[in-house]
Amino acid sequence: MRRTVNLEGMPQIHFLDVTNRDGVQTARTGLSKFGKTMVNFYLAKLGVAQSEIGFPFLFHEVPYVRAQLALQQAGAFHDLRLSGWCRAVQGDVEKAAPLGLEHYNLSISTSDQMLRGKFRGRLDRAAVIREMVAAVRAAKQAGVRTVGVNAEDGSRTDDGFLTEFAIAARAAGADRVRYCDTIGGDTPGRIGERFAALATATGMPVETHCHNDLGMAVANSLAGAFGDLAAGQDAWINTCVNGIGERSGNADLISTILALRHGFGVPENAIGDPIDLTWARRFAAWASYAFGQPLPQHQPGVGVNAFAHESGIHADGALKDHRNYELYDDDTLGPFPADRHARNGRLVLTGEYGGLAGFRHVMDDLGVDVKDEDLAFKLVQLCNAATGRPLTDDELRLIATYPDELALLYPGYTS
């Protein structure tokens, strides 16, 4: 049975989604800058606390970052916090800081394996701490509100140095330390104990970043988060939509939310974010379409078989009372999308080579109030050219509503 615990005034769990950073690094896939914008749109609809939107020190991310900040200012992302990822290198931070992001995660490797096999003697433990401290101080001096410090390969870093690293980060002004299970080899019992010890020793939250090489990214993320709570600290869980990410992927966003809401033994009200799962299926289906990665039929909550029954015993039980064979309700995940671009039969679309008549027809069919027809039409053409596929209903609605902000994605192309 689930424990019922009143968490009012107690530490809680928050989501920091890394689809737009770790997810887009996935081999054989990728997103346009407009696609990354849509990820932020859906994360905001879901009620996730923070999105790691990308790499603000890279030249080709600059227009995208500016567009995200403008969209945030215009209210497109509600309360979603936008954060950047940098190496824990002072120069990277100083290059990125003028863009105005208020949240950062700064990353550097900490394990002996990485010191030997990656840095090849260029950095030792003392140098790793010096580099990290200089980067944190540069971020804080630039006015960054929150800084997380990433211990890459933290799961293979010994307890003593990991604690020394985290304490030095806090002294420099860091707000959290990210424990990265970079090669996905951790196990729930071990990671829970390490999080509790590290959060206790440092007095600050330890952020989970779990890869799925052993199929335990969600389980490890929950165990690490519970270690934080046991130490009296808030927990931050890194996720990716549909569990994408390097190699075998990262902790799946929807699965993690479902586990925290419906897992046996999970405290009531453990999640501190205002999660709205009615957007889950729309987000998962859009991400599958945008990334070009089919969504498994058995994907928790959002796969087409997640609530399907065939065997006699199961079907009989589900027909009598669906709760006999279902842990949570089907309708809590929202409807599967039925976008116009996927319709069969006679259809007019709008895109890269479309005309104004087709654009107006599509927007009228969607019931969208277009803010600036000329600019929105240009953006539809540009965004369709960037994605190489028909635009979805949600994409068209965002373009119609926020054309001025989205135009920042394409400097020099819309005037």
Domain parsing of the chain, residue ranges: 13-282, 340-406
285 phi/psi in degrees, rounded to 5: -65, -40
Residue 401 has pLDDT above 80, yes or no: yes
Tell me the per-residue pLDDT of 338-383, one tens digit each, with 9 for 90 and over: 999 999 999 999 999 999 999 999 999 999 999 999 999 999 999 9
Distance CA 370, CA 78 (A): 20
**What local confidence, expressed as pLDDT, does residue 113 receive?**
96
**What local confidence, expressed as pLDDT, does residue 364 receive?**
97
Alpha helices by DSSP H, listed for 82-158, are 90-96, 112-117, 125-141
Average pLDDT, the chain: 95
Other Cβ atoms less than 10 A from the Cβ of 340: the count is: 16
Tell me the per-residue pLDDT of 21-79, one tens digit each, with 9 for 90 and over: 999 999 999 999 999 999 999 999 999 999 999 999 999 999 999 999 999 999 999 99
- How sure is the predictor about 409, in pLDDT bands with cuts at 50, 70 and 90? very high
**What local confidence, expressed as pLDDT, does residue 240 receive?**
98
**What local confidence, expressed as pLDDT, does residue 335 receive?**
96
Distance CA 46, CA 273 (A): 9
Other Cβ atoms less than 10 A from the Cβ of 194: the count is: 21
Candidate from 60-64, 296-300, 312-316, 331-335 with smallest mean pLDDT: 312-316
Distance CA 195, CA 218 (A): 15
Tell me the per-residue pLDDT of 91-143, one tens digit each, with 9 for 90 and over: 999 999 999 999 999 999 999 999 999 999 899 999 999 999 999 999 999 99
Tell me the per-residue pLDDT of 266-294, one tens digit each, with 9 for 90 and over: 988 999 999 999 999 999 999 999 999 99
Length of the chain: 415
Tell me the per-residue pLDDT of 208-249, one tens digit each, with 9 for 90 and over: 999 999 999 999 999 999 999 999 999 999 999 999 999 999
Question: Per the structure block, which two tokens stand in for 294?
Answer: 């089919």
Distance CA 182, CA 302 (A): 27
**What local confidence, expressed as pLDDT, does residue 341 receive?**
94
What is the mean predicted confidence (pLDDT) over 8-28? 92
What contacts 102, CB < 8 A, 6 or more positions away?
81, 82, 83, 143, 144, 145, 146
> Which secondary-structure segment (H or E) carries 53?
strand 50-54
**What local confidence, expressed as pLDDT, does residue 5 receive?**
35
Whole-angstrom CA distances from 214 to 16, 217, 250 are: 22, 8, 11
**What local confidence, expressed as pLDDT, does residue 36 receive?**
98
β strands within 255-381, DSSP E = none
**What local confidence, expressed as pLDDT, does residue 268 receive?**
86
> Which secondary-structure segment (H or E) carries 262?
helix 253-262
Tell me the per-residue pLDDT of 375-396, one tens digit each, with 9 for 90 and over: 999 999 999 999 999 999 999 9
Strand partners, 235: 13
**What local confidence, expressed as pLDDT, does residue 319 receive?**
85
Strand partners, 112: none
**What local confidence, expressed as pLDDT, does residue 336 receive?**
95
Tell me the per-residue pLDDT of 84-104, one tens digit each, with 9 for 90 and over: 999 999 999 999 999 999 999
**What local confidence, expressed as pLDDT, does residue 168 receive?**
98
Q: How far apart are the first and last CA of the chain?
A: 61
**What local confidence, expressed as pLDDT, does residue 2 receive?**
30
pLDDT more than 70, % of the chain: 98
Q: Is the CB of residue 205 less than 8 Å from the CB of residue 234?
A: yes
Dihedral sign from CA coordinates of 273, 276, 282, 285: positive
Q: Is the CB of residue 399 less than 8 Å from the CB of residue 380?
A: yes
CATH superfamily of domain region 13-282: Aldolase class I (3.20.20.70)
- How sure is the predictor about 8, in pLDDT bands with cuts at 50, 70 and 90? low
